[in-house]
Amino acid sequence: MAKKPERILLVYTTTATRAEAERIAGALLKERLVACANSFPISSRYWWKGRLERSRETGLLLKTRRSLYPRVEKRVKALHSYAVPAIEAWELVRVSRPFRDWLLEETKGAA
C-alpha cells in the first residue's frame, strides 16, 4: 500500500512586535521546524479580560509539514510573550509540487 503524501500546513500567529516575530521565525527556521516564515504589520481588535482592545501587531505565517505541527506549536508557545497566543494552522489543499518538494526537503532535518 502506498504511503500517503505528507500534508503541508500554514501556521499563523500574531506577535507584539516585529522583533518578536523575527526571533520566533529565526528559532523555528534554525531548528528546521519550518521552511519559510513571512511577517507583516497588522492592526488588531480583540476582547481581552472584558475589554475591547486595539493594537498594532506583527502577523507571522509559518510553512511546515503536518507532522511537525505539535513541535511548532510547543516552540511558538515557549518563545511567545503573550499569555494566550493565537496559534492556528490550516492544511493547504493545493500546493505547487516544486514548492511542496522544497518545503519537505528543508524540514526533513527536524522530522
How far is 76 from 97, CA to CA, in rounded Å?
27
The pLDDT of residue 70: 98
Q: What confidence tens digit (pLDDT) does each residue in 50-96 have?
A: 999 999 999 999 999 999 999 999 999 999 999 999 999 999 999 99
The stretch 85-109 carries a mean pLDDT of 95
Q: Dihedral of the CA atoms 40, 84, 32, 3 (nearest 10)?
A: -110
Going from N- to C-terminal start, the domains of the chain cover 8-107
The pLDDT of residue 85: 96
**Exposed (0-12), middle (13-18) or buried (19+): which is 4, by Cβ within 10 Å?**
exposed
H/E element, 38: strand 36-48
Let me know: does 8 contact 103? Beta carbons within 8 Å. yes
What CATH number does the domain located at 8-107 have?
3.30.70.120
Nearest to 90 by CA among 29, 1, 24, 13: 13
- Is the pLDDT confidence value at 111 over 70? no
